[in-house]
C-alpha cells in the first residue's frame, strides 16, 4: 500500500516539475498592477541568441534556464547581427478582474517578429509581425508593432518573442494600459506632425524662392529637405503606415534612398552655398565625390542586401558629417559669412546624426533623446538654413538695388550733360531734332527695361510710364478722329536732386508720394489721368480739354503742391514744381511724340525762366 501511494505521488509531481522547469526559463513573473499605466519590459527580459536562426518555438520552450541570459539594462540593443534572437518574460495580474494591456515594440524597421503567448492552461497564441509583411496584417494598425494582451487574474502569461532583422537589433519593449497608450500616441503624433509640417513648409517655401530667383543651390536645398523628410518618416514607420503599406521591399529601400539622397544634395548645396568651387577647389572635389558615392548607393540599394547598404550609408553619413564640419570651419576662417550660418545650422544636425548613428551601432543606449535627436537637430537646422538663405537673398537684393541706384544716378548725370549740350546748340530746329532723337532712344530703352512691370507705379500708387505709353497713342488717335482738343501737362519737381542730397532718398520717396497724391486730388473727371513719367517727372493727360481749362488744372496743381508743408522726421520744408502745357486738336500729319515734345519743351522753358510756374507751349514762339 505504501508503494502504491509513493508511485501515485511521483506520477502527479513529475508533470508539475516539468512545467516548473519550462516556466522558470524567463525568471520571476512581472506583477502587473492596475494602478501602473506603463512598464518598461527590457529589465525583465531574458534573451537567447540563435546564430543559425533554426530554433523552433517547441525547442525554445524546453530550453534550460541557464541558457537564457537575463537583461539588466533599461534597453535591448545588439546592433547589426546575422543572428536571430529569442526573448521571453512572464506577466501576472493580482487583480480580481482581467486587464487589457498592449505590448509595444517601438522600432518600426524590424523585419520579422514572431510572438507566442502561452497562457496558464498551456494554450499558445502565435502572432506574426514585421515590416516584411503588409502593414494591414498587424493586429493594431500603428507605425510601431503593437500586440493586445489580456491578463487573467492570478494566471501567469508567458511571452516568447523571436526577432530576425537586417536592421539594427533593437527591441524597445513596453507594456501599456490601453487608454494611457492612446493618449501618449496622440501626443507623439502631434509632435511628429509638427516636425514634418515644419520640414514640408520649409521645403515648399524654398522651392518657391528657387522658382523666383533661379539659384540652383535653393533647388539642392529643397531636395535635401525632402530626402531627409523621407528618411525620418521611413525610420519612424510613418511612410509605411500612410504611403506604401503594401510595398515591403521599398519600405526598407526608402530609408537608404532618403538618407543617401539627403547626403548627396547636402553636398551639392554646401558646394554652391559657401562658394567652394571658387575658393576651395579641393573641398569642392571632395563634395562631388561624396555626392557620386551617394548616387551609387542609391542605385545599388535596389540590388544589394539592405544590411550592407544601410551600414555603408551610415558610414558615408558619418564621413560626410565630419568632412562638412571641417570644410565649413575652414570657410568660416576664410571670412565667408554664409559659412557661419551653415556651420551653426550644420552643428545641430551633426549632433543629432552622430547620436543616431552611435545608437544604431549600440555605442550609446536607446532612449527618448537618442531616438529623436535627429528630429530635433534637423528641425533646428532647416529653420536656421532657411533664415540664412533668406539673409543671403536679401543681401543680393540690396546689392542689386545699390547697383540700380548707381546706374540711375549715372543716368541723371548723363541727362544733365545732354541738357547742357542742348542749350549750346545754335539752331532751334537742330535742338528739336536732337531732343526728339534722344527722347526716342530713351523711350525705347525705358520700354525694354519696364516691359515686365505692372501698370501701377510701386512707389506713388498712380499709373506708371508703361501704362502712359499704352493710353497716350490711343487718346491721340481719338482726338484726331473726333477732332477734339487734347491737353498734356508735363510736371517736374524743382531741384529734386538737391532735395535728395539734403534730406536723403527716403525723404525723396515721401516727396514723390506727396506730389502724386496732390496731382490726383485735382483731377475730377474720369477721363483725366495722371502718370509717373520717370524719376521726379509726372505727366497728366486731359482729353477733350482746351488750353484755358488745362491751364486752370495746371495752376491748381502747382498751388496745392507749393502751399503744402512737406513733413519728414519732424522737419518741414516746401516743394515746388514746374509745369509745361500744350493743348490743341492734333493734326492728321502730326506724330504723338511731336505733340508730347511740345509739352516737354514748355516744361524746360518753365525751368529756365525761374521754376515754380506753368508755361503754355506756343507754336509761333519757340
CATH of the domain at 53: 2.60.40.2380
C-alpha closest to that of 164 among 232, 85, 87, 93? 85
Residue 594 inside a domain? The answer is yes
Percentage of residues in the chain having pLDDT higher than 90: 15
- Is residue 202 included in any domain, yes or no? no
Q: Are residues 505 and 365 in the same domain?
A: no
Q: Domain check: are 313 and 371 in the same one?
A: yes
Q: Indicate which CATH number applies to the domain containing 503.
A: 3.30.70.270
- Same structural domain for residues 77 and 163? yes
Query: Given this model, what pLDDT does residue 438 score?
Result: 75
Task: Verify that 233 and 107 share a domain, yes or no.
Answer: no
Q: Which of 396, 429, 462 is the last residue of a domain?
A: 396
Domain assignment present for residue 523? The answer is yes
pLDDT tens figures, 461-488:
899 888 999 999 999 999 999 999 999 9
Same structural domain for residues 260 and 362?
Answer: yes
The three grid cell numbers given for residue 226, joined into one nine-digit string: 525632402
Distance of alpha carbon 196 from alpha carbon 378, whole angstroms: 10
- Kindly indicate the confidence band of residue 43, based on its pLDDT and cuts at 50, 70 and 90: confident
Same domain assignment for residues 230 and 356: yes
Q: Give the residue-averaged pLDDT of 367-374.
A: 63
**Is residue 426 one of the residues assigned to a domain?**
no
Q: Which three cell numbers stand for residue 319?
A: 564621413
If asked whether residues 563 and 458 sit together in one domain, one would say yes
Same domain flag for 108 and 249 = no
pLDDT by residue (tens digit) across 527-537? 899 999 888 89
Convert the pLDDT of each residue in 326-357 to its tens digit: 888 888 888 776 777 777 776 766 676 677 66
Per-residue pLDDT band for 366 (boundaries 50, 70, 90) equals low
Q: Count CB atoms within 10 A of the CB of residue 38.
A: 15
What's the domain count of the chain?
3
Rounded to 5 degrees, what are φ and ψ at 74? Answer: -80, -10
Last residue of a domain, one of 157, 182, 207: 182
pLDDT of 4: 35
Q: Which of 120, 237, 218 is nearest to 167 (CA)?
A: 237
Q: Is the pLDDT of residue 525 over 80?
A: yes
Set of cell numbers at residue 467 = 501704362
**Residue 194 · residue 375 · CB < 8 Å:** no
Residues 125 and 238 in one domain: no
Residue 178 lies in a domain: yes
For residues 370-375, average pLDDT: 66
Task: Identify which has the larger pLDDT, 2 or 162.
Answer: 162
- Separation between Cα atoms, residue 131 and residue 163, nearest integer Å: 12
Q: Give yes or no: residues 249 and 341 share one domain.
A: yes
Last residue of a domain, one of 182, 199, 230: 182
Segment 500-516, tens digit of pLDDT: 888 888 888 888 888 98
Lowest mean pLDDT segment, chosen from 7-11, 270-274, 527-531: 7-11
pLDDT in tens, 539-561: 999 999 999 999 999 999 999 88
Domain-located, residue 492: yes
Task: Kindly tell me the burial class for residue 579, based on how many C-beta atoms sit within 10 Å of its own C-beta (0-12, 13-18, 19 or more).
Answer: buried
* Cell 521645403 belongs to residue: 203
pLDDT at res. 349: 67
Nearest CA-CA partner of 533 in 479, 603, 482: 603
CB 581 within 8 A of CB 602: yes
Both 372 and 253 in one domain: the answer is: yes
pLDDT digits (tens, 9 = 90+) for 586-600: 988 888 988 889 999
Domain coverage including residue 328: 215-396
Q: What's the chain's average pLDDT?
A: 81
Question: Do 548 and 475 fall into the same domain?
Answer: yes
Q: Which residues lie below 8 Å from residue 55, measured CB to CB, with a gap of 6+? A: 48, 84, 86
Distance in Å from the first CA to the final CA of the chain? 152
Residue with more model confidence, 36 or 3 = 36
* Any domain includes 148: yes
Q: Is 195 within a domain?
A: no
* Cell numbers that stand for 573 in this block: 520744408
Amino acid at each position: 500500500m505504501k508503494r502504491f501511494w509513493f508511485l501515485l505521488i511521483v506520477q502527479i509531481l513529475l508533470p508539475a516539475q516539468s512545467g516548473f522547469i519550462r516556466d522558470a526559463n524567463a525568471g520571476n513573473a512581472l506583477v502587473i498592477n492596475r494602478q501602473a499605466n506603463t512598464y518598461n519590459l527590457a529589465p525583465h527580459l531574458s534573451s537567447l541568441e540563435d546564430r543559425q536562426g533554426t530554433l523552433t518555438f517547441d525547442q525554445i520552450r524546453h530550453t534550460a534556464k541557464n541558457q537564457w541570459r537575463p537583461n539588466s539594462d533599461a534597453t535591448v540593443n545588439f546592433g547589426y547581427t546575422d543572428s536571430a534572437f529569442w526573448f521571453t518574460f512572464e506577466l501576472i495580474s493580482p487583480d480580481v478582474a482581467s486587464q487589457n494591456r498592449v505590448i509595444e515594440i517601438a522600432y518600426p524597421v524590424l523585419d520579422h517578429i514572431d510572438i507566442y503567448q502561452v497562457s496558464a492552461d498551456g494554450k499558445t497564441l502565435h502572432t506574426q509581425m514585421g515590416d516584411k509583411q503588409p502593414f494591414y496584417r498587424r493586429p493594431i494598425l500603428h507605425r510601431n508593432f503593437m500586440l493586445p494582451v489580456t491578463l487573467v487574474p492570478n494566471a501567469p502569461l508567458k511571452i516568447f518573442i523571436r526577432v530576425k532583422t537586417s536592421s539594427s537589433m533593437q527591441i524597445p519593449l513596453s507594456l501599456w494600459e490601453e487608454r494611457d497608450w492612446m493618449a501618449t500616441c496622440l501626443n507623439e503624433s502631434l509632435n511628429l506632425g509638427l516636425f514634418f509640417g515644419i520640414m514640408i513648409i520649409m521645403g515648399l517655401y524654398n522651392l518657391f524662392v528657387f522658382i523666383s530667383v533661379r539659384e540652383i543651390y535653393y533647388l539642392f536645398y529643397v531636395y535635401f529637405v525632402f530626402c531627409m523628410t523621407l528618411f525620418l518618416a521611413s525610420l519612424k514607420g510613418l511612410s509605411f503606415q500612410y504611403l506604401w503599406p503594401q510595398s515591403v521591399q521599398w519600405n526598407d529601400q526608402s530609408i537608404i534612398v532618403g538618407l543617401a539622397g539627403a547626403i548627396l544634395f547636402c553636398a551639392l548645396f554646401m558646394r554652391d552655398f559657401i562658394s567652394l568651387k571658387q575658393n576651395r577647389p579641393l573641398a569642392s572635389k571632395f563634395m562631388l565625390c561624396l555626392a557620386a558615392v551617394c548616387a551609387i548607393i542609391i542605385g545599388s540599394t535596389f540590388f544589394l542586401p539592405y544590411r550592407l547598404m544601410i551600414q555603408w550609408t551610415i558610414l558615408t553619413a558619418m564621413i560626410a558629417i565630419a568632412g562638412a564640419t571641417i570644410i565649413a570651419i575652414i570657410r568660416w576662417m576664410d571670412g565667408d559669412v554664409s559659412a557661419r550660418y551653415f556651420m551653426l545650422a550644420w552643428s545641430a544636425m551633426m549632433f543629432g546624426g552622430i547620436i543616431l548613428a552611435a545608437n544604431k551601432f549600440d555605442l550609446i543606449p536607446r532612449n527618448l533623446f537618442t531616438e529623436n535627436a535627429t528630429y530635433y537637430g534637423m528641425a533646428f537646422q532647416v529653420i536656421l538654413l532657411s533664415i540664412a538663405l533668406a539673409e543671403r537673398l536679401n543681401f543680393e537684393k540690396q546689392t542689386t538695388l545699390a547697383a540700380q541706384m548707381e546706374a540711375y544716378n549715372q543716368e541723371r548725370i548723363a541727362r544733365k550733360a545732354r541738357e547742357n549740350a542742348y542749350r549750346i546748340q545754335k539752331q532751334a530746329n537742330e535742338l528739336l531734332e536732337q531732343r526728339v532723337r534722344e527722347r526716342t532712344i530713351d523711350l525705347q530703352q525705358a520700354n525694354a527695361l519696364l516691359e515686365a512691370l505692372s501698370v501701377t507705379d510701386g512707389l506713388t500708387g498712380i499709373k506708371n510710364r508703361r501704362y502712359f505709353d499704352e493710353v497716350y497713342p490711343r487718346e491721340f488717335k481719338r482726338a484726331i478722329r473726333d477732332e477734339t482738343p487734347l491737353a498734356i501737362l508735363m510736371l517736374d519737381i524743382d531741384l529734386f536732386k538737391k532735395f535728395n542730397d539734403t534730406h536723403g532718398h527716403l525723404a525723396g520717396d515721401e516727396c514723390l508720394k506727396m506730389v502724386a497724391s496732390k496731382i490726383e486730388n485735382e483731377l475730377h473727371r474720369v477721363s483725366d489721368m495722371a502718370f509717373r513719367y520717370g524719376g521726379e517727372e509726372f505727366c497728366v493727360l486731359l482729353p477733350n480739354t482746351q488750353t484755358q481749362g488745362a491751364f486752370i488744372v495746371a495752376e491748381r496743381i502747382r498751388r496745392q503742391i507749393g502751399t503744402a508743408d512737406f513733413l519728414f522726421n519732424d522737419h518741414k520744408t516746401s516743394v515746388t514744381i514746374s509745369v509745361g502745357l500744350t493743348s490743341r486738336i492734333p493734326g492728321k500729319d502730326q506724330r504723338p511724340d511731336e505733340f508730347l515734345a511740345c509739352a516737354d519743351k514748355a516744361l524746360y522753358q518753365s525751368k529756365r525762366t525761374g521754376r515754380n510756374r506753368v508755361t503754355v507751349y506756343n507754336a509761333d514762339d519757340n
